[in-house]
Structures are given as structure tokens and as C-alpha cells.
């Protein structure tokens, strides 16, 4: 559920960036050819660094995903 929200946030930013690029370079359409997905485990390690103790009750943890997408530029004949 949380990962879905993080993924949706990434997709939204990708769509915006793609739209910017399309407008700037006059690309009519693109075809999605590949997606790479990575995610971090959403944990706060409490006792990893004894010199920097962390709260055993953190307010939040960060769910993070990374998407790398490739589009092929489609040119009309």
C-alpha cells in the first residue's frame, strides 16, 4: 500500500518530465519500452551506530522507490 503510493508519486513526476521533454523537442508520441523498479526497505535501524543512538519510536520511516523508464520516440511516417 505504502509502496504503491511512493510508486505513484514517482510515476507522476515521470509523466511531468516526459511531457516537458516532448514539448521542448517536439516529440509527438513515445512508446514505453522498459521499466526498472527498485525499492529500499523502509526501516530505521536503531542500534546500527552506537555513537548516534536513534529513537526506538521514530515518528516516521521513509518508503522509497526508484523507477527508471525508457521510452522509444515514435515518429510518424
Partner 1 sequence: MQLARMFLASVFLAGVSPLPAQVLTLDSGPNPPGASVSDADQTVRIRQEGSVKVRPDTLYMLMKVENEAARLDQALDQNKKAVDGFIAALAGLKIDHSAIRVASFIVSPTMLRSGVSFARNVIITVPNIDQKPATEIDRLMAGVQDLGARFGSQCVTCIGSG
Q: Which residues lie near partner 1 (CB under 8 A)?
A: 2, 5-11, 13-14, 16-18, 20-21, 24-25, 27, 30, 33, 41-48, 56-73, 75
Query: What is the nearest approach in angstroms of partner 1 to the Cβ of residue 51?
Result: 16
Which value, to the nearest 10 degrees, does the dihedral of the CA atoms of residues 5, 6, 9, 13 take? -160
Which of 48/52 has CB closer to partner 1? 48
Radius of gyration of the chain (CA): 19
In the block, residue with C-alpha cell 526506538: 56
Q: Provide CB contacts within 8 A for 6, sequence distance 6+.
A: 39, 63, 64, 65
Query: What is the nearest approach in angstroms of partner 1 to the Cβ of residue 41?
Result: 7
Query: What is the nearest approach in angstroms of partner 1 to the Cβ of residue 11?
Result: 7
Amino acid at each position: 500500500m505504502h509502496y504503491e503510493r511512493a510508486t505513484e508519486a514517482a510515476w507522476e513526476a515521470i509523466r511531468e518530465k516526459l511531457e516537458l521533454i516532448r514539448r521542448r523537442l517536439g516529440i509527438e508520441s513515445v512508446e514505453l519500452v522498459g521499466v526498472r523498479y527498485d525499492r529500499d526497505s523502509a526501516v530505521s535501524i536503531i542500534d546500527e551506530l552506537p555513537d548516534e543512538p536513534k529513537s526506538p519510536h521514530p515518528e516516521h520511516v521513509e518508503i522509497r522507490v526508484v523507477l527508471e523508464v525508457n521510452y522509444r520516440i515514435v515518429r510518424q511516417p
